[in-house]
Structure 1
Amino acid sequence: MRMVFKYIDILGESAKSFEDAVQNAITETARTVKDIRTAEVMKMNAIVNSDKIVEYQAVVRVAFKVRRKEE
């Protein structure tokens, strides 16, 4: 059987770290998307206020298996 995958880009955020931002993106995506297979960090940003990082952001490209109706 052939498998087909779809990619979507997700923006995760965290006040703690880039790692948490990536994990938040995956965790939230998994609530509605099943069979996540890979996650690729595409971009990282830091929001700065008064010379301090106040938020970490990660754009994550998530790949998941496309399911057929009979699955």
Structure 2
Amino acid sequence: MRIDCDTCPVRDRQCAECMVTALLQLAPLEQRLDSDERRAVDTLASAGLISAQEAVSATARLEPWKPLRSTG
């Protein structure tokens, strides 16, 4: 069986529920970059600010949300 995420009709919208994503064994807080993030990383690599290896292995990291507290 061949699975091609590039042709998935719900790509970047339903990846969190996809069994393929679960099977890739990303760390719990790591996620694939969305299209805007991927474009930014590609731009950094094109400018020589990061290596091609860093660009390929880049992932997004979900951080726990901490609500802001009012000081006034």
Report the TM-score, using the length of structure 1 for normalisation: 0.26
Q: TM-score, normalised by structure 2?
A: 0.26
The answer to which structure has the higher helix fraction is 2
Rg comparison, structure with higher value: 2
The structure whose RCO (Cα within 8 Å, separation 6+) is larger is 1
